[in-house]
Amino acid sequence: MVSTTHLDVRPARLEFHSIPCGNELFILAVVVPSNTYCLSMVTLDGMNQFWIRRGTINHAMNTDEIEYKFAEFAKVNESAVK
């Protein structure tokens, strides 16, 4: 499926909903659960990027944001190990 073929970490199960909008037309709504335990890297056209969602907007993360998230995950991991 194209929605997951370019992701490093697959999201949890996606939900698909078909919404009728008249004259045999439908809108496909895809529900993507939030990913709170790791970063997802997208690889497309030879480029690797980490993306983040804030509200209803997705944007590519900058280096500082990526480093901060990895540090957060390391703290959670250390806490779980203890």
Q: What is the pLDDT along the chain (82 residues), one digit of tens a residue?
A: 445 555 555 556 778 999 998 888 999 998 877 666 667 778 878 888 888 877 888 888 898 988 888 888 788 777 777 7
> Within 10 Å of residue 61's Cβ, how many Cβ atoms?
16
- The Cβ-side half-sphere exposure at 9, using a 13 Å CA radius, reads 13
What is d(CA 33, CA 15) in angstroms, rounded to the nearest whole number? Answer: 9
What was the pLDDT predicted at 5? 54
Q: Does residue 73 contact residue 37 with C-beta atoms inside 8 Å?
A: yes
What was the pLDDT predicted at 2? 47
